[in-house]
Structure 1
Amino acid sequence: MTGARDDTTGATGTARAADPAGPAGDAVPEYRVWALAGLPEVQQGDDLAKLIAAAGPGLADGDVVIVTSKIVSKAEGRLVEASDREAAIDAETVRVVARRGSLRIVENRQGLVMAAAGVDASNTPAGTVLLLPEDPDASARAIRAGLRDTLGVNVGVVVTDTFGRPWRAGLTDVTIGAAGVRVLDDLRGGVDAHGNPLVATVVATADELASAGDLVKGKAAGLPVAVVRGLGHLVAGAADDGEGARALVRDAASDMFRLGTSEAVREAVTLRRTVRAFTGEPVDPAAVRRAVAAAVTAPAPHHTTPWRFVLLESEESRVRLLDAMRDAWIADLRKDGKSEESVAKRVRRGDVLRNAPYLVVPCLVMDGSHTYGDPRRDAAEREMFVVATGAGVQNLLVALAGEQLGSAWVSSTMFCRDVVREALALPPDWDPMGAVAVGKAAEEPRARAERDPEGFIEVR
Structure 2
Amino acid sequence: MTEAAGYRVWALPGIPEVSPGDDLVALVAEAAGGGGLVDGDVLVVTSKIVSKAEGRVLRADDREAAIEAESVRLVARRGPARIVESRHGFVMAAAGVDASNTPKGTVLLLPEDPDASARRLREGLREALGVDVGVVVTDTFGRPWREGQTDVAVGAAGVQVLEDLRGGADTHGNPLGVTVTAVGDELAAAGELVKGKANGLPVAVVRGLGRHVGGEEEGSARQLVREAADDMFRLGTSEAVREAVAMRRTVREFDGREVDPGSVRRAVDAAVTAPAPHHTTPWRFVLLETAETRTLLLDAMQEAWIADLRADGKSEESIARRVRRGDVLRNAPYLVVPCLVAEGAHDYPDARRSAAEREMFTVAVGAGIQNFLVALAAEQLGSAWVSSTMFCRDVVREVLRLPAEWDPMGAVAVGRPAGEPRPRPPRDGGEFTVVR
Tell me if TM exceeds 0.5.
yes
Secondary structure at 2:238 match in 1: coil
Contact 1:181–1:241 (Cα < 8 Å) also in 2:
no
For each residue in 1:6-41, what CA deviation from the matched residue of structure 2 results, as whole angstroms up to 9, or x when unmatched? xxxxxxxxxxxxxxxxxxx21132211111011100
The equivalent residue for 2:134 is 156
Matching residue within 17, 29, 35 for 1:53: 29
Mapped to 1, the partners of 2:257 and 2:356 lie a distance apart of: 42
The structural deviation recorded for 1:392 is 0.8
Mapped to 2, the partners of 1:319 and 1:236 lie a distance apart of: 63
The structural deviation recorded for 1:314 is 1.6
1:99 aligns with 2:99: no
Mapped to 1, the partners of 2:219 and 2:435 lie a distance apart of: 54
Mapped to 1, the partners of 2:254 and 2:168 lie a distance apart of: 37
Matching residue within 315, 325, 334 for 1:349: 325
User: Structure 2: where are the runs of 5+ without partners?
Assistant: none
The equivalent residue for 2:237 is 261
The structural deviation recorded for 1:259 is 1.7
Give aligned-pair identity as a percent. 74
The equivalent residue for 1:6 is none
* Equivalent AA in structure 2 for residue 212 of structure 1: A
For each residue in 1:392-432, what CA deviation from the matched residue of structure 2 results, as whole angstroms up to 9, or x when unmatched? 11111111111111111111111111111111111111111
1:308 aligns with 2:308: no
Cα RMSD after superposing both structures: 1.3
List aligned pairs for 1:31-430, cutoff 5 A: 31-57=7-33, 58-237=36-215, 240-430=216-406
The structural deviation recorded for 1:251 is 2.0
Mapped to 2, the partners of 1:243 and 1:442 lie a distance apart of: 37
Mapped to 2, the partners of 1:193 and 1:319 lie a distance apart of: 55
* Equivalent AA in structure 2 for residue 221 of structure 1: N
Secondary structure at 1:370 match in 2: coil
* Equivalent AA in structure 2 for residue 55 of structure 1: A
* Equivalent AA in structure 2 for residue 94 of structure 1: V
Secondary structure at 1:262 match in 2: helix
* Equivalent AA in structure 2 for residue 105 of structure 1: I
TM-score, scaled relative to structure 1: 0.92
Mapped to 1, the partners of 2:259 and 2:176 lie a distance apart of: 29
Contact 1:96–1:262 (Cα < 8 Å) also in 2:
no
The equivalent residue for 1:446 is 422
The structural deviation recorded for 1:242 is 2.9
Contact 1:97–1:261 (Cα < 8 Å) also in 2:
no
The structural deviation recorded for 1:306 is 1.3
Mapped to 1, the partners of 2:238 and 2:184 lie a distance apart of: 30
* Equivalent AA in structure 1 for residue 343 of structure 2: D
Question: What number of residue pairs does the alignment pair up?
Answer: 434
* Equivalent AA in structure 1 for residue 196 of structure 2: G
* Equivalent AA in structure 2 for residue 296 of structure 1: V
User: Structure 1: where are the runs of 5+ without partners?
Assistant: 1-24
Contact 1:97–1:262 (Cα < 8 Å) also in 2:
no
The structural deviation recorded for 1:326 is 1.2
The structural deviation recorded for 1:243 is 4.9
* Equivalent AA in structure 2 for residue 137 of structure 1: D
For each residue in 1:308-361, what CA deviation from the matched residue of structure 2 results, as whole angstroms up to 9, or x when unmatched? 111111222211211111111111112222222222221122211111111111
Mapped to 2, the partners of 1:341 and 1:202 lie a distance apart of: 62
The structural deviation recorded for 1:145 is 1.3
Contact 1:73–1:133 (Cα < 8 Å) also in 2:
yes
* Equivalent AA in structure 1 for residue 97 of structure 2: V
Mapped to 2, the partners of 1:287 and 1:275 lie a distance apart of: 17
Please say which of residues 285-294 and 243-252 is displaced more in the overlay: 243-252
TM-score, scaled relative to structure 2: 0.97
The equivalent residue for 1:437 is 413
The structural deviation recorded for 1:189 is 2.0
Mapped to 2, the partners of 1:68 and 1:241 lie a distance apart of: 22
